[in-house]
């Protein structure tokens, strides 16, 4: 198997294993975090009734519902994702809707979505996991009509994202040292460098690439909900599984750190820093 094939297989296993199950279980809490960021990038698409939209990395379906409402009446959405557990939940969520939404298990890097079929392609944090990003976006480009629009949101560096760093920073002195990560490897921060994103989209054939920063306070969880997210999503989960004796100390420290980010109603809100990226098919 090639390096790209190995990486794709690893992502397939990851999103259909523990990660997919976790994101399915925590769908409500994760949507609370990500929804305002998804709505910002959706606004950048300027969708119109009757358009067809490809939702890349649609997860548990919230974004597909929002997109379908924006192109109704007469429009349609195809939501694609690697994770079969999340797609199963997505199908349940739209089962009572009269919106035109279909779901498909697919790898956006290699799957055939039909030539020049869509007016727009959208993603909320679903495009940073490709083994070969330029090839993936070239494949997505094939599915867009001439002049079709692409818009996605991706994370800026971890250092700019308290929503990612606050829990771990609170316990870094308590846990074993963590190995450094490869900033270019498929993962949440693979697109943190905007010039890399611009270069990838250009190589794929997109034009009119625009990248702008967007910042928001996200979450709105109770303290208990924030603790659930902190210990289930990100590096803390793996650390606690490997070091169960540290759980009590770690969670106490995380709780204290999170309480410092409570609003007037006691809800935990943390800063999120992202790129809103748009581009156009020739």
CATH code for the domain in which residue 50 is found: 3.40.50.150
Range of the domain at 34: 3-156+183-216+273-280
Q: How many domains does the chain have?
A: 1
Q: Is residue 204 situated within a structural domain?
A: yes
pLDDT for residue 10: 77
Q: Is residue 245 situated within a structural domain?
A: no
- Distances in whole angstroms, Cα of residue 86 to Cα of each of 15, 67, 108: 9, 17, 16
pLDDT for residue 237: 82
246 has a pLDDT exceeding 80: yes
Pairwise CA distance, residues 48 & 148, whole Å: 13
Q: Is residue 261 situated within a structural domain?
A: no
Q: Is residue 240 situated within a structural domain?
A: no
Q: Is residue 177 situated within a structural domain?
A: no
Q: Is residue 134 situated within a structural domain?
A: yes
Q: Is residue 260 situated within a structural domain?
A: no
pLDDT tens digits, residue range 119-176? 999 999 999 999 999 999 999 999 999 999 999 999 999 999 999 999 999 999 999 8
Residue carrying the six token digits 């769908």: 27
Closest CA to 32 of 237, 259, 218: 218
- The token duo for 71 is 């192109």
pLDDT for residue 7: 55
pLDDT band at residue 2, thresholds of 50, 70 and 90?
Answer: low
Higher local confidence (pLDDT), 242 or 215:
215
3 has a pLDDT exceeding 80: no
Alpha helices in the chain (DSSP H): 3-16, 18-25, 27-45, 62-70, 84-94, 133-143, 162-171, 194-204, 223-232, 235-242, 247-259
pLDDT for residue 4: 58
Q: Is residue 188 situated within a structural domain?
A: yes
11 has a pLDDT exceeding 70: yes
Higher local confidence (pLDDT), 186 or 234:
186
């Amino acid at each position: 198997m090639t390096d790209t094939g190995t990486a794709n297989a690893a992502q397939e296993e990851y999103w259909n294993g523990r990660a997919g199950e976790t994101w399915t279980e925590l769908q409500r809490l994760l949507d609370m975090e990500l929804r305002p960021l998804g709505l910002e990038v959706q606004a950048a698409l300027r969708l119109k009734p009757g358009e067809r939209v490809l939702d890349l990395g649609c997860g548990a379906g919230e974004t597909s519902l929002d997109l379908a409402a924006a192109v109704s009446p007469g429009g349609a959405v195809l939501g694609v994702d690697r994770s079969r557990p999340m797609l199963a939940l997505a199908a349940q969520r739209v089962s009572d809707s009269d919106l035109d939404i279909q779901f498909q298990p697919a790898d956006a890097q290699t799957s055939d979505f039909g030539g020049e079929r869509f007016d727009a392609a959208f993603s909320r944090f679903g495009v940073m996991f490709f083994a070969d990003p330029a090839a993936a976006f070239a494949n997505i480009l094939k599915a867009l009509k001439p002049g079709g629009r692409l818009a996605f949101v991706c994370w800026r560096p971890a250092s700019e994202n308290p929503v990612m760093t606050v829990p771990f920073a609170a316990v870094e002195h308590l846990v074993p040292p963590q190995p450094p990560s490869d900033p270019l490897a498929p993962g949440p921060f693979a697109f943190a460098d905007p010039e890399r994103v611009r270069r990838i989209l250009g190589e794929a054939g997109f034009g009119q690439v625009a990248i702008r920063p967007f910042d928001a306070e996200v979450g709105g969880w109770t303290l208990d909900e924030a603790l659930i997210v902190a210990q289930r999503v990100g590096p803390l989960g793996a650390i606690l599984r490997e070091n169960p004796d540290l759980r009590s100390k770690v969670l106490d420290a995380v709780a204290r750190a999170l309480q410092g980010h409570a609003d007037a109603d006691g809800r935990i809100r943390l800063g999120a820093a992202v790129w809103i990226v748009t581009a156009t098919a020739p």
